[in-house]
Amino acid sequence: MPKNVLHDVMMKEQRSIRHVPMPKNRRGTGDDEVDSILYEREEFQIEEESPSSWRRVFLWGATFLFLALLVVSLATGFTGATVTVTPKTELLSINKEFTASKSADAKLRFETLPIQETAELVIPADTTRKIAERASGTLLIYNTFSDKPQRLIKNTRFETRDGLIYRIANSITIPGKTVKDGRSIPGSIEATVFADSPGKEYNIPLSDFTVPGFKGDSARFAGFYARSKTPMTGGFDGTVKIPSEDALTAARASLRKALQEKILTGKRSLVPEGYILWNGAISVKNESLAPEERSGETSAVKETVTGAAYIFKREDIAKAVAATVLPPGEVLPVEIPDLDSLTFEIKDSGSNTGEATVLRFTLKGGARIVWLFDEEKLQKALTGKPKDELAATLSAFPTIEKVDLVLKPFWSRSFPNNPSKVTIERATPEASPKTQ
């Protein structure tokens, strides 16, 4: 009976099949073959796959996918080019005279900001003085007598209804009357008159006046008359307490300095964007008013300033200055960032009351001219271009001195295809030399 070999089949937790060769001296037939089973046994080892193995595969796959997406994002979302442009610049030492006009079609045009300021300072009145001042004011004198001009000589009298007499200081000619749309329009002229005598009684409000010199000719007397344009003021006759001359001089100097600072501050706040107002671009007329008596033995010293501030477009001034150094016919756009450092001096305005239509002036000092370039045009020209074509592209921009380029990602060899990804930055020019 064959041997029971089931006990030689071994089951383990980890099962495997393994062939064990039988020794040659044991091989044979019959009972020997049965015995060989003891030596040719097969072991079964079955590995059970645990859930952790699938989890490990999933994590490695997810990590790889994330890294791939990250690389793609870096290559697309962070793509860009930054071009830092240094424009062509040139240092200048300027000492030139220019002529500007208020004309709308002038190459160099200026505009005016009117000036009218008054300031006062109350100071002690410690000096007694006898004062005799005649009142004065402005009249509008009319001619309804004739269509021909009428000349009135110096010192012609004008009389109020109360009998107060005022005289013109200079001869005048009143225009003749005219007819318009069937209506008679009198000729008229303004004139300054002075009271016939000193005294406060001549300080009167707006009034009507006749010409007593025409009383012998009723038609002329009725045809020539005047009306006040301003009240009559300034009349005085008596002793007053006033400041000393030294105190007056110091007070007026202080007032003028304060007015100058006030004018500069006030007018600068009114300068439109793109315009410039130099300290020297102001033409004024100072008027010292008579001290006014105040209570407590004090006087009010007043100064009045009238005139104009002249402003220019920065672009126009830059072109005018550049034209003095550029080759003839060159019209490349430029700017002068430090125009304010130049010294402006009026040579001739033809007027001190803001009525100038032509202005001659000089500009002196050191400045830097910066040539401009079209940033949008450059941005479009670089979009999608290979990095190697940068120099060729810049040849179309003669106002550019040099550029610095940063491409992202660093391995990129061309500019982005999206213009918004191409950033143009302009290098700030160095400070210009000091004004001489």
CATH number of the domain residue 172 falls in: 2.40.30
Model confidence pLDDT, tens digit, residues 69-100: 666 555 555 678 899 999 988 888 889 999 99
Instruction: Determine which of 202-206, 249-253, 265-269, 332-336 has the lowest per-residue pLDDT on average.
Output: 332-336
Write down the residue that tokens 């000091």 correspond to: 434
Q: Is the residue at 319 inside a domain?
A: no
Each as own residue / partner, the long-range contacts of residues 398-401 (CB below 8 Å, 24 or more positions apart, any chain) are 398/88, 398/332, 399/87, 399/88, 399/332, 399/333, 399/371, 399/372, 399/373, 400/85, 400/86, 400/87, 400/88, 400/373, 401/86, 401/87, 401/88, 401/89
Domain boundary among 193, 217, 238: 238
139 contacts 158 by C-beta, under 8 angstroms = yes
Q: Is the residue at 66 inside a domain?
A: no
Query: What domain range is 272 assigned to?
Result: 114-125+241-310
What total number of domains does the chain contain? 2
Domain boundary among 210, 238, 266: 238
Q: Are residues 139 and 161 in the same domain?
A: yes
For residues 357-368, give the mean pLDDT. Answer: 91
The CA R_g of the chain, rounded to the nearest whole Å, is 50
- Which of 412 and 46 is assigned the larger pLDDT? 412
Model confidence pLDDT, tens digit, residues 278-316: 999 998 888 998 888 888 789 999 999 999 999 999 999
Nearest to 289 by CA among 330, 237, 248: 248
Model confidence pLDDT, tens digit, residues 104-149: 889 899 999 999 999 999 999 988 888 899 999 999 999 999 999 9
Q: Is the residue at 96 inside a domain?
A: no
Q: Are residues 151 and 286 in the same domain?
A: no
**Predicted local confidence at residue 323, as pLDDT:** 85
39: left (phi over 0), alpha (psi -120 to 50) or beta: alpha
| Cα(102)–Cα(111) distance, integer angstroms | 6
Domain boundary among 186, 218, 238: 238
pTM greater than the 0.95 cutoff: no
Round the average pLDDT of the chain to a whole number and report it: 83
For residues 211-224, give the mean pLDDT. Answer: 94
Q: Is the residue at 138 inside a domain?
A: yes
Q: Are residues 121 and 148 in the same domain?
A: no
Q: Are residues 221 and 276 in the same domain?
A: no
48-to-13, 16, 76 alpha-carbon distances in Å: 10, 12, 45
